[in-house]
Amino acid sequence: MTDSPPHDDALLAQRIRSGDRSALGELYDRYASLALATALRVVADRQLAEDLVHDAFVATWQKIDRFDPARGNMRAWLLTIVRNRALDQVRGGRASIEVGAADEQALLRTSANPTWEAAIARRSTAELRSALDELPTEQREAIELAYFGGRTYREIAVLTGVPLGTANGRLRLALAKLRDALRMTDAAPSGAGERLGADEAGQ
Amino acid sequence: MTDELRAMDHAAVDELGAAYALDALEPDEARAVRDHLATCTQPHAELRALIGADQVLAVTLEPVEPSPALRERVMASIERAAQEQAPVAQRPGAAEPRQRGGWLDWLSPRVARPLAVAAVVALVAVGAWGVTLQSQLAERDRALRAVADAIAEGETAFRVEGTAGRGYVVDTPGSGAALVVADLAALPADRIYELWLLDAAGTPVAVGTFTPADGEVAVVELERDLAGYTTFAVTVEASRVDAPTGDIVMAAPLAPS
């Protein structure tokens, strides 16, 4: 994922903030296909997904003053906006063009740790996909239900027919294994997975 | 929030770390974790190490190429948004002292869009034509009240921009239209501004003339209503003419926003 250098994103954000429309065009060229993939994965409707991407870029332009490069990069911000609006759609809510509190809370949650961004930047998309593909099916399914389906671990437990602790454990194991696969040993103390019992992990 | 959540301890917060990082908590649980992290003196390193992990899922999707029309649509929307609302750094008053005192400057484009003929009529009624608002605060306040009343009416206005300045054409179908401008570029003594309406074929019809005075708000009632016309334009002429001879110095498309 070496095509999304955060420092370039910061410069793009600066240019957008100064009113440079061509910078928004560059942001679009850089991330529109990824934004559309995210929206399409959530709503499974091409036209609706394009509408959501359109709204997300307009929101990015209008609310660029709320983007803080210290809290994350433009890609994370944009994809967070796309995902939130797409999930609003599938939940039957009305997607808004505004950048709301939900986006800002999501940003606090998604981008406060630069080690994942560094891992993403160091590896190719194929390597990142491989790390995901190597997860046990039930763990990958759990994190995909969470991210693309907008499901809580409680809902995942019901959907997959497992106890709450198992659903939560699958999320924890999945992220621990991803972290290990991406060699993010500097990101956290080891043992996140080991502390889970076999029953909790559901394997 | 339940007592259990309110009393969430370190271990309970860590237990939910992955779900928190993946946005997979119920809203009250997420709030409890967030509140705990905001005030806790413990590092919660394990949980914090998971934050940001969801970006891996986002970037591993196979990119989907948007239709070419989407880029054009986005850029057209940005163009419109840029006209309506400049980014913060460019917004007058955000980072630098305001240099102009016209009351149009005090309204964001979004708010000013619904300016109505009612406001123009009110301005004329209170003698606002040619009044220097910077020096007459009472008139300014009265004008703003009239604008606020007009906004409540939900009528439409079209933003007019160009090298000469900016303003609005306000329209009440069936009751007429008017141009409201402030701080227009001064003209030589032998020149006037002439107003035009153009139809879809580009045929212009003269609908008025005016000469602004420095620092004033000008309200010019158009001699025709907007029905059937697609563009409003202003040129500089030596005297009123039936067909424009000068360059367009301000213009606005007359399409609903």
pLDDT digits (tens, 9 = 90+) for A75-87: 888 998 899 889 9
Q: Which residue of B lies nearest to A71 if distances are taken between CA atoms?
A: B52
Verify that A140 and A91 share a domain, yes or no: no
The answer to whether residue A160 sits within a structural domain is yes
State how far the Cα of B6 lies from the Cα of A192, in Å rounded to an integer: 24
pLDDT digits (tens, 9 = 90+) for A118-132: 888 888 888 999 999
Chain B nearest-CA distance from A96, in A, is: 15
For A:45-104, CB contacts with B below 8 A are 49-50, 53-54, 57-58, 61-62, 64-65, 72, 75-76, 79, 83
For A:123-152, CB contacts with B below 8 A are 125, 128-129, 131-132, 143-144, 146-148, 150-152
β-strands B176-182, B217-221 pairing: antiparallel
Verify that A10 and A81 share a domain, yes or no: yes
Q: Are B12 and B33 in contact (CB under 8 A)?
A: no
- Report chain B's mean pLDDT, rounded to a whole number: 70
Q: Is the ipTM of this complex over 0.90?
A: no
Mean pLDDT of B13-20: 92
Q: Which residue of B lies nearest to A82 if distances are taken between CA atoms?
A: B58
User: Would you state the pLDDT for residue B108?
Assistant: 31
User: Would you state the pLDDT for residue B221?
Assistant: 80
Verify that A102 and A127 share a domain, yes or no: no
Give the best residue of A60, A110, A156, A164 to mutate against chain B (max B CB count within 10 A): A110
User: Would you state the pLDDT for residue A133?
Assistant: 93
CATH of the domain at A140: 1.10.10.10
Q: Which long-range contacts (CB under 8 A, 24 or more apart) does A22-29 make?
A: A24/A57, A24/A60, A24/A61, A24/B74, A24/B75, A24/B78, A25/B71, A25/B75, A27/A57, A27/A60, A27/A74, A27/A78, A28/A57, A28/B71, A28/B74, A28/B75, A29/B71
Domain boundary residue, one of A112, A131, A148: A112
Q: Assess A172–B contact: CB distance below 8 Å, yes or no.
A: yes
User: Would you state the pLDDT for residue A156?
Assistant: 95
What is the share, in percent, of chain B residues with pLDDT greater than 90? 13
Residues B18, A175: C-beta atoms closer than 8 Å: yes
Verify that A61 and A134 share a domain, yes or no: no
Q: Which residues of B fall within a CB distance of 8 Å from A182?
A: 56
CATH of the domain at A72: 1.10.1740.10
| pTM for this predicted structure | 0.56
Ranges of residues in chain A with a pLDDT under 70 are 1-7, 70-71, 92-114, 184-203
User: Would you state the pLDDT for residue B90?
Assistant: 38
The answer to whether residue A45 sits within a structural domain is yes
Q: Assess A196–B contact: CB distance below 8 Å, yes or no.
A: no
Residues A113, B63: C-beta atoms closer than 8 Å: no
pLDDT digits (tens, 9 = 90+) for B144-187: 445 445 545 555 667 777 778 777 777 766 667 778 776 677 78
Q: Which H/E stretch holds residue B66? A: none
State how far the Cα of A74 lies from the Cα of A96, in Å rounded to an integer: 19
* Confidence band for B126, pLDDT divided at 50, 70 and 90: very low
Domain boundary residue, one of A112, A136, A161: A112
Residues B52, A116: C-beta atoms closer than 8 Å: yes
User: Would you state the pLDDT for residue B54?
Assistant: 87
Verify that A85 and A46 share a domain, yes or no: yes
Verify that A31 and A99 share a domain, yes or no: yes
Verify that A74 and A24 share a domain, yes or no: yes
State how far the Cα of A126 lies from the Cα of B222, in Å rounded to an integer: 64
User: Would you state the pLDDT for residue A197?
Assistant: 32
* Confidence band for B114, pLDDT divided at 50, 70 and 90: very low
Q: How many domains does chain A have?
A: 2
β-strands B176-182, B204-210 pairing: unpaired
Verify that A23 and A89 share a domain, yes or no: yes
* Confidence band for B82, pLDDT divided at 50, 70 and 90: confident
Chain B nearest-CA distance from A155, in A, is: 9
State how far the Cα of A85 lies from the Cα of A102, in Å rounded to an integer: 10
The answer to whether residue A99 sits within a structural domain is yes
Verify that A195 and A131 share a domain, yes or no: yes
Phi, psi of A68, rounded to the nearest 5 degrees: -115, 110
Residues A120, B87: C-beta atoms closer than 8 Å: no
Verify that A11 and A107 share a domain, yes or no: yes
Residue A128 is part of which domain span?
A: 117-201
Q: How far is CA B9 from CA B1, B23, B61, B94, in A?
A: 15, 20, 36, 43
The answer to whether residue A1 sits within a structural domain is no
User: Would you state the pLDDT for residue A102?
Assistant: 54
Residues B58, A114: C-beta atoms closer than 8 Å: no
CA A106 to chain centre: 9
Verify that A134 and A180 share a domain, yes or no: yes
Would you say residue B118 has pLDDT above 80? no
The answer to whether residue A86 sits within a structural domain is yes
- A133-147, B119-133, B135-149: which is most confident: A133-147
Chain A nearest-CA distance from B85, in A, is: 8
Q: Are B243 and B204 in contact (CB under 8 A)?
A: yes
User: Would you state the pLDDT for residue A100?
Assistant: 52
* Confidence band for B216, pLDDT divided at 50, 70 and 90: low
Domain boundary residue, one of A52, A77, A112: A112
Mean pLDDT of B104-123: 38
Verify that A12 and A93 share a domain, yes or no: yes
Q: Domains of chain B: which residue ranges? A: 3-59, 72-98, 100-253
User: Would you state the pLDDT for residue B168?
Assistant: 74
Q: Which residues of B fall within a CB distance of 8 Å from A131?
A: 56
